[in-house]
Structure 1
């Protein structure tokens, strides 16, 4: 049995896929140690994992509620200010948990796992939840401030990408990371996000090639597993009112901004105004929804036009709905693809802009930038619901995903494949070392 230590750093969109993959690895006989933020403890232990917290629940809440984390000009620096203080403690934790039969798996910001690989040669699979952080000059990711035009000559795009890495990314991450590297006896790292952070054992991409076409400058070796369609982290309590709402009339539209920090009151007003203007019914998922299951009644109609919830598993909800308006989280987009419904993407920060562009390119939705307003949202919903080509393309991708291997199973097999490759390499090195020692030479 292999001990797999999974480090998942980020929002629910980063953590949930790794929970699904961890569950699949556990079903294949591996021991799972799950390291993530304290609020996800119940979701991890519910799956039978050993849970190891990174920071406290208060620290995580404070970070997620910081407006600077969600602003394009300050998001990266603010995120790093949260991660940097945990590097040494998490590295020491990983060192104490690692055995001879340990494999590390980590999301993009698992810096400490990458350090363990570099210093102690512990096998490590780095996971790319979304393609935006594969900093390809051939296909530059979409960003609200630093997008490199794709029409430029490749040499120019390479130069611009290196400048972004050096003057924007390394400038933020370099001082704290390299201070720790010096403590550990390692030389300074450069191109931290674009190159160093990716495991030299293997990179696992949690999306299909039709969503993000592989590029020549992606880190090698990499494998693509497809979307890990996992959203049901805990058992859902019975909700007869929601079930009745879904069954009572025309299929509704689902609205969610995910874990993005936004003005929820303003967002809710825009949703209500959109429903009144369009005549559609809706389900609004928002973190501040009242605990009591109450519907917002419109005086002009007998059925409720809107029902609000804090959380409903999208994997079971979306197949009963007609469209999804969301923030651009890749896990959310993947579940909409799997349900065969069109998407209106309203990106706010981070990888959401790049994911939104890819949804549009796939032919399954439209993108709205700027504040969510009833006028533009109504127009966008009419566009996606009334466009036969979008409906056809949603159906094509639905069929494609329905006949594709389970993403969590595929990801688990990829991780096991990287494990076996690493063991073979170790065996080859030991065999070469033995041969050379017998002949009086050294490796």
Structure 2
């Protein structure tokens, strides 16, 4: 039986292909799908076959030019500054506008389910206030604070023994308190307008979802005690539509191919790209850098053995690549591992340092600070290419990633709507 879905999505860069991939797959199965998106996502949204509606009152950047990025997280000078920016520009600040647009869409479409990006808190409230179930998409590792997982964004290795567990518990409390400081009051004020009870903590809004759909492989993530409504559903490894460049051609030659794939959103990473190119220039490799939509190729100086292009299909490149150098975005890492490619990770922020830990714990690559010199980058790439244990570990981990991608339970969870309208769901956390 066809259902009606409303997707309320925000532009998280690497989160866009898997979130829109979910919408596209529902359309292909005969469901009626509307996607609320920012204009920066609209070209990718249109190819899903869903009805595309722009945010009118929620933030709506016209494109991925850094000048139009409201978060500008590369400018944050401390974790508290980062929390304030997130609260103001991504969560509490946009919540009233997101709620207003979702209420209008609910009145128009009467969806059976609202599916929200993790920071679209206002969309979740609007659904809850209308008695319509909502699911939250998490196209990365499980990020809300939970026992067993190191606090997000710190790049910590798993705790060992009582001291390590005490460390994580303390940092988790500090993280929740910092997040609440810049979001909870405004979120509860909006909930009061809707006649909803207040939240004890801001993250509880996410925990009120019918389902938290974790779009990764549990073999990649760390073992944790997740809330009862959280489900690992496997990754969607779709390439973004902007990467489908018909003029692209793989570099010729027999030397090992190294793909450099950094963030699809601006993270002040032009200097990092240049140091990577300069490092690869000293190695007997064929390098190809995809600068993505946020950086023009001409901003990065190429080398005789390193090509710089705006875009290229990562899926095809990774089948031929011997290694991938990346910032550690979840999508890039899982696609590299699925192709059996070891990685060199230079985390910039967000969840990237945590992703790097998950790679290095499994021996599938090496991690460097983002300010690493060209010489250190070259040394890390050389080690990954020369030591077959890295490729062996990437192949083993990638086999589990591929299995979870091919056996994804995402659609089964989204289509399990009996009853279709459940009211405001408790978290079960």
Deviation of 1:283 after TM superposition, in Å, equals 0.8
Structure 1 residues 355 and 70: CA distance shift in structure 2, 3 A: farther
Match of 2:205 among 196, 201, 214: 196
Aligned to 1:441: none
Rg larger for: 1
Gaps of 5+ in 2: 424-429
Aligned to 2:321: 321
Kindly indicate whether the alpha-carbon contact (under 8 Å) linking 1:69 and 1:78 is maintained by their aligned counterparts in 2. no
Which has the larger helix fraction? 1
Kindly indicate whether the alpha-carbon contact (under 8 Å) linking 2:289 and 2:309 is maintained by their aligned counterparts in 1. yes
1:8-407 map, 5 Å: 8-54=9-55, 55-58=59-62, 61=65, 62=67, 64=69, 67-69=72-74, 71=76, 73=79, 74-83=81-90, 84-98=92-106, 99-144=109-154, 151-152=161-162, 154=165, 157-158=168-169, 160-166=171-177, 168-193=178-203, 195-216=204-225, 218-233=226-241, 236-239=244-247, 242-243=249-250, 245=251, 247-259=252-264, 261-286=266-291, 287-290=294-297, 296=302, 298=304, 305-406=305-406
Distance 2:282 2:301 in 1: 18
Q: Considering Cα pairs closer than 8 Å and 6+ residues apart, tell me whether 1 or 2 has the greater RCO.
A: 2
Deviation of 1:404 after TM superposition, in Å, equals 4.4
Q: SS in structure 1 opposite 2:371?
A: coil
Distance 1:340 1:147 in 2: 23
Distance 1:169 1:150 in 2: 26
Kindly indicate whether the alpha-carbon contact (under 8 Å) linking 1:256 and 1:284 is maintained by their aligned counterparts in 2. yes
The TM-score normalised by the length of structure 1 is: 0.83
Gaps of 5+ in 1: 299-304, 427-443
Deviation of 1:43 after TM superposition, in Å, equals 0.8
Distance 1:18 1:424 in 2: 22
Structure 1 residues 291 and 211: CA distance shift in structure 2, 3 A: same
Aligned to 1:414: 413
Kindly indicate whether the alpha-carbon contact (under 8 Å) linking 1:65 and 1:261 is maintained by their aligned counterparts in 2. no
Aligned to 2:427: none
Kindly indicate whether the alpha-carbon contact (under 8 Å) linking 1:37 and 1:53 is maintained by their aligned counterparts in 2. yes
Deviation of 1:411 after TM superposition, in Å, equals 1.3
Distance 2:211 2:274 in 1: 46
Deviation of 1:189 after TM superposition, in Å, equals 1.7
Distance 1:200 1:265 in 2: 38
* CA RMSD of superposed structures (Å): 2.9
Deviation of 1:285 after TM superposition, in Å, equals 1.7
Worse overlay, 306-315 or 127-136:
127-136
Deviations 1:12-50, CA, capped at 9 Å, x for gaps: 212111111111111111112112221110111122221
The TM-score normalised by the length of structure 2 is: 0.86
Deviation of 1:86 after TM superposition, in Å, equals 2.6
Structure 1 residues 146 and 64: CA distance shift in structure 2, 3 A: farther
How many residue pairs end up in the alignment?
410
Distance 1:211 1:270 in 2: 28
Distance 2:382 2:152 in 1: 26
Distance 1:356 1:10 in 2: 23
Q: SS in structure 1 opposite 2:94?
A: helix
Structure 1 residues 402 and 372: CA distance shift in structure 2, 3 A: same
Worse overlay, 128-137 or 317-326:
128-137
